[in-house]
Amino acid sequence: MKIEPTGPGSFRVTMPEFIGIGFDDPVFEDALESNNALSWLAPPAVQTRMINNILSNENKQKYISENEAELKDKAKSFYSGIITSIDPEITVAFEFAG
């Protein structure tokens, strides 16, 4: 993200492409499905497979694409709030990558 002045009392906020953050290739495993002594007690790890599927790179990008308008609105609100808290008269323009 980059903030630069565009004139007296005005700024442009340039936002990079939205990406998923917080984890890289997570893999969840059901502790009782590891062929240990208690593995016969465990039901199939449907929930574990579901979590791994939801957190896949493909699904992260799909989530970003499906929610791009909301992500842009949140970014505008967040950065406008910070900038205008310093001076409410400042004009803020936004430019988004992609």
For 58-81, the pLDDT digits (tens) are 888 888 899 999 999 999 999 999
- Provide CB contacts within 8 A for 13, sequence distance 6+: 1, 2, 3, 75, 79, 83, 92, 93, 94, 95
Q: What is the pTM of this model?
A: 0.66
- Domain residue spans of the chain: 2-96
Higher pLDDT, 64 or 52: 64
| Phi, psi dihedrals of residue 97, rounded to the nearest 5° | -70, 150
| Span 90-97, average pLDDT | 95
When pLDDT is cut at 50, 70 and 90, the band that residue 20 belongs to is confident
Question: Which two structure tokens, joined as six digits, stand for 18?
Answer: 């939205």
What percentage of the chain reaches a pLDDT higher than 90?
49
